[in-house]
Chain A
Amino acid sequence: MTTLDVLYFAWVRERIGLPRERVTTAAPTVAALVDELSAREPRYAAAFADRRALRVALDQDLADFDAPLAGVREVAFFPPMTGG
């Protein structure tokens, strides 16, 4: 088991209802973590319902949902970015 800081931004944050939390998990990949969180409560399931509408960053670098979580400390979920 490892403990991660999980951060949420924009509508992902609004749907889940908090900006960050500590999550202790054995999930080997981002996708497995998403499955685990989605199973917790409907608000998580709602936020993660459409993964194509989500982006993920591992330790502040963009990553894929099949990326491994080994050695990762911070995971962030957010919609496609709208800067500029």
Chain B
Amino acid sequence: MGAVLDVRVQAAPFDPGAEANAFAAAVQGAGALVTFTGLVRDEGGQLTGMEIEHYPGMTERAIAAIAGQARDRWRLAGVLVIHRFGPLAPGAAIMMVATAAPHRADAFAAAEFLMDYLKSRAPFWKKESGAAGAAWVEAKAADEAALDRWRRG
């Protein structure tokens, strides 16, 4: 019985709670479930919305590769990644990651690894809209630095 690998790139909204429950029911041999949900910030009411562009084809490939690396590196029962694209309102769920494992250390580490890599290795680009207009979100040096801790000498 292999680990569950479920990757979805979609415009439609999703229900993080329902997805977490369905994922937990689908995996076998898990003693720990870690979930992370990313939300559109409202920046104190300054942000009116966000548009996410992606690279169809490469996005799915890149996420599957990242999820596969996590599965090879930790003892996991499953990995779930859902990432939306298109227009999103403040407060909306942008994406979620769930990891299931026999033990929590693997589930936490794999979830953090997935988040760090999704941030700067999956081809998504965020554009924020507000009263001052729309602007592309710039990648941060810290996002790239976050990958260093996962590189093994």
- Interface of B, helix, strand, loop or mixed by DSSP: mixed
Partner of A81, one of B61, B115, B122: B122
Chain B contacts with A in 54-111, Cβ cutoff 8 A: 55, 57-58, 61-62, 83, 94-95
B139 pairs with A84, CB closer than 8 A = no
The segment from B11-19, B25-33, B41-49, B124-132 that touches chain A is: B124-132
Partner of B123, one of A11, A13, A83, A84: A83
Cβ distance A81 to chain B, nearest Cβ, rounded Å: 5
Partner of B58, one of A10, A13, A60: A60
Docked Cα-Cα span, A9 to B123, in Å, equals: 9
Docked Cα-Cα span, A60 to B56, in Å, equals: 10
- How many residues on the B side are at the interface (Cβ–Cβ under 8 A)? 27
- Residues of chain B within 8 A (CB-CB) of A82 are 119-120, 124-126, 136-139, 143
A60 pairs with B61, CB closer than 8 A = yes
Partner of A79, one of B57, B58, B115, B136: B136
Closest residue of A by beta carbon distance from B119: A84
Whether a CB of chain B sits under 8 angstroms from the CB of A49 is no
- Residues of chain B within 8 A (CB-CB) of A61 are 58, 61
B55 pairs with A60, CB closer than 8 A = yes
Chain A contacts with B in 1-31, Cβ cutoff 8 A: 7, 9-11, 13
How many interface residues does chain A have, given as a range? 10 to 19
- Residues of chain A within 8 A (CB-CB) of B118 are 83-84
Whether a CB of chain A sits under 8 angstroms from the CB of B8 is no
Docked Cα-Cα span, A35 to B102, in Å, equals: 52
Whether a CB of chain B sits under 8 angstroms from the CB of A57 is yes
Whether a CB of chain B sits under 8 angstroms from the CB of A47 is no
Docked Cα-Cα span, A49 to B123, in Å, equals: 21
List chain A positions with a Cβ less than 8 A from chain B: 7, 9-11, 13, 57, 60-62, 76, 78-84
A13-B53, A81-B124, A83-B118 are known; give 6 further A-B pairs, CB within 8 A: A9-B123, A10-B53, A76-B123, A82-B137, A83-B119, A84-B38
